[in-house]
Amino acid sequence: MNIRIINTLLIFMACSYIQTVCAQETMNQNWAAEKIKGVRFLPYRSYDGSPFLNDSWRPGKIEFADGEIADSLFLKYSSFKDELVYFNKGISTQIVIDKASLNGFSFVEDDGRICVFRKQYFDGYMEGDRFFEVLSKGNPDLLVCRKVDLRTSSVYYDKSGILKNMTYDPAYQYYFYSPVKGYAFVRINQGGLLAKFDKASQKQIKKLLRKNKIKITGEESFINAWKVVEKEGYEIAF
């Protein structure tokens, strides 16, 4: 009889422990669900091109408006809608995170590069809060708005054989940004970079780029060129 009672007590204690662990896991999931505000993601219409900067889910983290960090999330950035989408494992659902609740976010690319985005007010065309990727942080910062437009195209058949005439096309916009002076649009080529300086500085910058064997052919080489120019203390004209 005593052995039966002891066994019953051990089973009861084990069940209580399992329930406690499960409850703790549930509480953690409920906390995440409550902290990350948003709405269910509704898929976009399918056209050639991509509405997303990253088509696959990328590991990353978000910073809330109060400065708190939530990491170990799987994220996608919609360049088409300027929205951040995350996959909620608890309910197997894609959620568009409320932009007003965020300061920014970051995620890791396949090659290990960390893409850092921050939300800030844009006072130009279609003013309002936008997510900008920070390409170079300094004084000023070099930012890019990873915008994608839906545009009319030549008629084509999609993979399902449906006739369409729209495509998702990248329309990235690059800016130098200073909290005091604001935004200065820049074209990502050597002429665009040089145009941000006075005539005297332009000649010196050309020599500097030649010395460092930098030829601007795209975004990566432009970033490298800007870092070299910035290091030498040249100041852009807003």
Q: What is the pLDDT of residues 66-101, one digit of tens each?
A: 999 999 999 999 999 999 999 988 889 999 999 999
Of all residues in the chain, what percent carry a pLDDT higher than 70? Answer: 86
Q: Find out whether 69 and 104 touch, Cβ atoms under 8 Å.
A: no
Separation between Cα atoms, residue 136 and residue 140, nearest integer Å: 9
What is the pLDDT, as a whole number, of residue 8? 45
Q: How big is the chain, counted in residues?
A: 238
What is the average per-residue pLDDT within 91-115?
Answer: 94
What is the average per-residue pLDDT within 223-230?
Answer: 96
With left for phi above 0 and alpha for psi between -120 and 50, is residue 161 left, alpha or beta? left
Between residues 89 and 225, the one the model is more confident about: 225
What is the pLDDT, as a whole number, of residue 237? 87
Separation between Cα atoms, residue 104 and residue 134, nearest integer Å: 11
**Own/partner long-range contacts of 80-83 (Cβ < 8 Å, ≥24 apart):** 80/44, 80/51, 80/52, 80/148, 80/149, 80/150, 80/168, 81/44, 81/51, 82/130, 82/131, 82/147
What is the pLDDT, as a whole number, of residue 25? 30
189's tokens: 């080529």
- Of 189, 202, 190, which Cα lies nearest the Cα of 237? 202
For the chain, helix (H) and strand (E) counts, in that order, are 4, 13
What is the average per-residue pLDDT within 99-104?
Answer: 96
Quick check: 7 pLDDT over 70? no
Quick check: 10 pLDDT over 90? no
* Residues 24-40: tens digit of each pLDDT: 233 234 335 567 889 99
Q: Find out whether 60 and 107 touch, Cβ atoms under 8 Å.
A: yes
In Å, how far are 81, 96, 212, 226 from 43, measured between CA atoms? 12, 11, 46, 38
Provide the whole-model pTM: 0.83
140's tokens: 């000023």
- pLDDT bucket at 22, cuts 50 / 70 / 90: very low
- Average predicted confidence (pLDDT) for the chain: 87
- Of 214, 232, 234, which Cα lies nearest the Cα of 224? 214
